[in-house]
Amino acid sequence: MTAVVTELPPSKLGTKEHWDDVYHEEISNFIDHGDEGEVWFGEDTQEKMVEWALANVPPSPDLSVLEIGSGNGALLFGLLDAGYPARCLAGLDYSSSATQLAEIVAVLRDGEKISFTTSNFLEDDPLPLPNSVSPSGGVDRWDLLLDKGTYDAIALGVKDEHGRSPAINYPSRVARLLKPGGYFLITSCNFTEDELKANFVTSETGLVYHSRIQHPTYSFGGKSGSTCASIAVQKPLPAA
């Protein structure tokens, strides 16, 4: 089965230029007022992702954790504050302004530095952390991959000549990078939990559903919904 992707129409949120402008502005704000920038989807959502990580992939010296599309680094700084060693944490973002902002914030915080790199997740394999180990000797070296709003942004990118979204390749790239037993935790405001499951839990990825995060719900016009959706999927361990 192939992943179901999105019928979302392209928008400026799916362009690198947009994010370059956003983080360029955030760098100015940080320099002028010390404002570290927007916490995408809000502090509560971020805290819930950190709590999920603490419960399922607790801090340990040999972990490798990567945030895909790390922006200003707020989620990774949240993990750092929760006790994850900086040397276990990495962020990548295709906007060099985002990387620059996250690095400036990191320098102004004491202690070891989180690794932030500028890289397009759909094109490049992420740089490994010095402590990371791949059981196969390949790129499958991450215990936890995180996404907060990046799959959403990628799904709003320009479609190819066959009308396919750039997001079509994302789930299999995630699966390839996870260690056996590793987790991918995603929070989205454009996809429901069911849509996330349909896109990530496929025979193509081999990933299995693990758990969800409960977010505040609302009711309107007799229907109820959630402000955003988070699911975690896992790469199964090889059969013994």
Ligand X SMILES: C[S@@+](CC[C@H](N)C(=O)[O-])C[C@H]1O[C@@H](n2cnc3c(N)ncnc32)[C@H](O)[C@@H]1O
- Site residues for ligand X per CB under 6 A: 19, 40, 69-72, 74-75, 92-95, 98, 120-122, 148-150, 153-154
Cβ distance to ligand X smaller for residue 170 or 179? 170
Cβ of residue 219: shortest distance to ligand X, in angstroms? 27
Query: How far apart, in whole angstroms, are the C-alpha atoms of residue 40 and residue 62?
Result: 28
Cβ proximity to ligand X: between 95 and 199 the closer is 95
Instruction: Between 77 and 181, name the residue whose CB sits nearer to ligand X.
Output: 77
Of 121 and 183, which CB lies nearer to ligand X in the complex structure?
121
Contact 34, 28 (CB under 8 A): no
Q: What are phi and psi of 14, to 5 degrees?
A: -95, 15
By C-alpha distance, which of 184, 227, 228 is closest to 206?
184
Per-position b or e across 8-40, b if 16+ CB within 10 A of its CB: beeeebbeeeebeebbeebbeebeeeeebbebb
In angstroms, rounded to a whole number, what is the distance separating the alpha carbons of residues 149 and 165? 16
CB of 2 to ligand X, least distance (A): 20
User: Minimum distance between the CB of residue 151 and ligand X, rounded to whole angstroms?
Assistant: 9
Contact by Cβ (8 Å): 184, 121: no
Smallest distance from ligand X to CB 223, Å: 26
User: What is the layout of strands, in order, in the sheet containing 142-148?
Assistant: 115-118, 89-93, 65-68, 142-148, 178-188, 229-234, 208-213
Structure-token match 């000797």, residue found: 137
Instruction: Kindly tell me which of 6 and 70 has the beta carbon lying closer to ligand X.
Output: 70
Question: Which residue is listed with tokens 């699911």?
Answer: 231
Q: How far is the CB of 146 from ligand X (least distance, A)?
A: 8
Q: Tell me the C-alpha distance between 194 and 29, whole Å.
A: 38
- Closer residue to ligand X, CB minimum distance, 105 or 233: 105
Residue 133 Cβ vs ligand X, minimum distance, rounded to whole Å? 24
